[in-house]
Amino acid sequence: MHILFVADPVEHFKIYKDTTFSMMREAQRRGHRISVCEPRHISWQRGELVTAEVRDIVLTGDKEHWFTVEKEHRAALVDFGVVLMRKDPPFDAEYIYSTHLLEQAERDGAKVINKPSALRDHPEKLAIMEFPQFIGPTLVTRDAAQIKRFHAEHQDIILKPLDGMGGMGIFRVKADGLNLGSIIETLNKDGAQSVMVQKFLPEIAEGDKRVLIIGGKPVPYSLARIPQGSEVRGNLAAGGKGVARPLSEKDLHIAQSLGPVLHNRGLLLVGVDVIGECVTEINVTSPTCFQEIHDQTGFDVPAMFLDALEEAVRG
């Protein structure tokens, strides 16, 4: 099978922890061919197939010069066995346009994973609102007065933009309300942008758990991203420490409840973030933590993913 990875520039991958790299490595081990491109390389001309400027690569096994380019060429997306959309957020207008191009490639006959329409329909922070039984007190609004009322009710809150990633733009405001007005102005841009506000969950001290669901089934281990020092964010990109743990009974219940629903919508790979017993995000764009879980537990997450991918392509 020939796999096209649509991702951020491969030259910037940190291969010791990068999940897309771990997918590539397992794919090559199984004899699949690998090509790469960025969303900006995809185009669609009237009356023609959706195409992309791609590079066919081979992984070398070397830590520094980890790939070689065999060929650079333009190819129709339908000519690949599968197209894996692995572009990191932000979930902005350009990301949405990319999903439209990929959806046209589907109409051409391409197999695209995760399904482009499902990516659009599940913005990673808003998606949790569909499942109120699994989330804590949460508000999405542009209205500063609503945010202040939410704070007055819950006293200790988290505010974050809807399009952030890696913990960017996350603020905690405690009972004293210090700087709440300024933080609201920063995030909602005088009412122009929506903000997510959540009751602070003290269980974050035990970690923000990434629960992976592949092909509708949970990986048996989560990666708890534990905040360090005075930091409130557990994100690895914000300095959190990743500790792999077996799924708790509640984690398993959440994954088994959400997994089939999301899989049936065309989401082969999902990363559900859980603090305590509350879902805080449903990540569908480029879920990570494959290598950390594999390295710490021995459970082969990339192999589980490739098994599911091969089954999905066979139909």
Known catalytic residue: 74?
A: no
Known catalytic residue: 281?
A: yes
Known catalytic residue: 17?
A: no
Question: Considering 87, 111, 115, 210, which one is annotated as catalytic?
Answer: 210
Question: Considering 87, 160, 199, 209, which one is annotated as catalytic?
Answer: 160
Known catalytic residue: 79?
A: no
User: What is the secondary structure of 145-202 as a DSSP string?
Assistant: HHHHHHHHHHSSEEEEETT--TTTT-EEE-TT-TTHHHHHHHHHTTTTS-EEEEE--G
Structure tokens at 211: 């629960």
**59 - beta bridge partners?**
67
The answer to whether 102 and 116 are in contact (CB under 8 A) is yes
Known catalytic residue: 209?
A: no
3-state DSSP percent of the chain in helix, strand and coil, to 5: 35, 30, 35
Question: Considering 25, 86, 111, 233, which one is annotated as catalytic?
Answer: 233
Known catalytic residue: 283?
A: yes
Query: Which residues, other chains included, contact 175 with Cβ-Cβ below 8 Å and sequence gap of 6+?
Result: 155, 156
Known catalytic residue: 233?
A: yes
CA distance 39 to 297: 34
Structure tokens at 72: 């650079």
CA distance 67 to 54: 14
**281 - beta bridge partners?**
273
Question: Considering 18, 124, 251, 281, which one is annotated as catalytic?
Answer: 281
Known catalytic residue: 199?
A: no
Residues marked as catalytic = 125, 160, 210, 225, 233, 273, 281, 283
